[in-house]
Amino acid sequence: MIARFNETGRSQVLAKRMPGDLSEYSVIQTKEPLDREGKVSRIVEFIEKPDQPQTLDSDIMAVGRYVLSADIWPELERTQPGAWDVFN
């Protein structure tokens, strides 16, 4: 992940396929299907423990490993906290 980050300068998220109920996981929708191991694709939607995961056409979950670029900070500054002052 770090090597890919250093190569591209873009944030990286480790993910894997998880068939079945994804309501207890972070679900990722990618721009293009991940058809092989090691495939890289842009994330178009990322939902933490969705109430209705079937609304996303995805069986991909975030494993909980991230390498984030500095581009995240302006986005966080624009994000309003939700319930219990948690960022959603």
What average pLDDT score do residues 36-42 get? 75
- For the stretch 56-71, pLDDT in tens is 778 889 998 999 999 9
This prediction has a pTM of 0.71
* Euclidean distance between CA atoms 27 and 17, whole angstroms: 10
Find where tokens 């984030």 sit.
Answer: 68
pLDDT of residue 38: 64
Q: Where are the domains of the chain?
A: 2-82
Alpha-carbon distance values, 37 to 13, 15, 30, 87 (Å): 14, 10, 14, 31
pLDDT of residue 9: 92
